[in-house]
Structure formats: structure tokens, C-alpha cells
Structure 1
């Protein structure tokens, strides 16, 4: 995805965990963070406490949705996805993308990967890799500040 592109529709999930979300529910009120992860991704598991802390700190001002992106056949086991999500306290809605439907719409190749959309559904920031939560926080704060100012 390129900056300023619209958030794709969140359809085509193999399953939803922790409640289903639609683009219409996410766009309009507040910005959205969509993060891609995988049960076989060590960096994703290392980053999850920071993602969760981020989710909890911004919960009043930011929608957060997780996307489980399988990297191999082993990542398709729903029981394992559910267990790892519980083990790592992923309480936000999880789009299970076993058919790579959303992965393809985002043109995403990485886990972990983070996409920040403004309240109007435009992509404002993308980053991939295990570190960089400070940069992610800076970008989210910028989008929140613009929203408060009415930019």
C-alpha cells in the first residue's frame, strides 16, 4: 500500500477472533492501527507486549486490529492461532487471513508490520520489523494531533 491510499475492506477472513470489525466501523471516529503478525514469527511475539501496552494506552483514541498472516502451512492451525493469541494477550479483534486475502489487499510481505490509518481511512504510516515502537507512537500521536486540530 502507498501512503494516502484508503484502507481496504476487511472482508475475506478465514475467521475472526475477539469480535469482527468492518471498515465502516473503523473509519470516521478515530484512527486505526492494523498490525500483521504470525504464530511462527519470533519478532512478533517479542513485540506483542509493546503492541498490547500501546493498544491499552491509546484505547480511547485508537482502533486496533490484528491480522494473523500465515508464513507456512504450520501457521494455518486455528487451535494454535487461538492459543498463541491468548498466551500473548492479543485481545483486540484478530482477522485470521489464512487465504492471504487481506495480506494481498495490503500488498504486505512482512511480519510484524504496522499500518496507521487516519480517521478518514487514509494510510498515514507503515513500518515493518521488530523495533520502532517509538516511531510508531510518534506517527500515531501526529495523526491524533491533526484530528484534534481538525486538519
Structure 2
């Protein structure tokens, strides 16, 4: 996805956990962080506490959506996803993308991966991998300062 691209429609889910969210509920209100993760990704689990801290720190200023992107057939087990989400205290909406429809719409190939959209729904920052949480927070702060 190129910078300044509009947020893809949040459609094609296998299931939503913690409540479904639509683009109409997100765009125009406040910036949104969408993070991709997988139950089989050690790095995703390792960094998840920092993602949850970000969510808590910016809960009034930033929307957060998780997208579970399976890396293998075993990763498509919804009960397993629920267990891991509970273990890592993921309480924000989780889009389970077993058919990879949203992953394809984002042109995403990585977990973990982070997409930050401004309040108008335009992509302003992308990064992948387990390091760089300080950079992610810096970009979030820059986008929040514009509002």
C-alpha cells in the first residue's frame, strides 16, 4: 500500500472478536492503527505487550484494530486465536482474516505489521517487524498533533 492511500474496507472477515467495526465508524473521527499479527508468530507475541500499552496510552485519541493473518492452516483455528488473544489481553476488535481478503487489500505480507491512518482514513505510516515501537509512537504523535 502506498502512503496516502485510503483505508481498505474492513470486509471479508472469517469472524470478528471483541466487536465488529466498519470504516464508517473510524474515518472522520480519529486516527486508526491497524496491526497485523498471527498466533504462530513468536515476534508478534513478544511485542504484543507494547502494542497493548500503546492502546492504553492513546485510548481516547486513537482507534486500534487487530487483524489476525494466518501463516499456515493451523493458524486458522478460531478457538486458538481466541485463546491467544485472551492470553495477551487483546481487548480491541480483532478481524480474523482466514481467507486473506483484508491482507490482500492491504497488500500485506508481514506479521507483525502496523498501518497508521489519519482521521481522514489516509495511510500515513507503515512498518513491519518487532522493533521500532518508538518510531511507531513518534508517527502516531505526529498524526495526532495535526488534528
Structure 1 consecutive aligned stretches of length 4 or more whose deviation exceeds 2 Å: none
Q: Counterparts of 1:108-147 in structure 2 under 5 Å?
A: 108-147=108-147
SS of 1:89's equivalent in the other structure is coil
CA RMSD between the two structures: 0.3
Aligned residues: 147
SS at match of 1:24: helix
Alpha-carbon distance in structure 1 between the residues aligned to 2:105 and 2:39: 21
Give TM-score, length-normalised by structure 2. Answer: 0.99
Tell me the distance in 2 between the aligned counterparts of 1:4 and 1:28: 15
- CA-CA distance at 1:99 after TM superposition: 0.2
The Cα shift of 1:69 comes to 0.1
Superposition TM-score, scaled by structure 1 size: 0.97
Aligned-pair CA distance for 1:70: 0.1
Matched residue, 1:10: 10
State the alpha-carbon separation in 2 of the partners of residues 81 and 46 from structure 1: 16
Q: SS of 1:66's equivalent? A: strand
CA distance in 2: counterparts of 1:33 and 1:133, whole angstroms? 13
Report the equivalent of 2:55. Answer: 55
Deviation of residue 30 (structure 1)? 0.3
- In 2, distance between residues paired with 1:47 and 1:127? 14
Q: CA deviation at 1:87?
A: 0.3
Alignment gaps of 5+ in structure 1: none
Deviations 1:27-67 (A, max 9, x none): 10100000000000000000000000000000000000000
2:68 alignment counterpart: 68
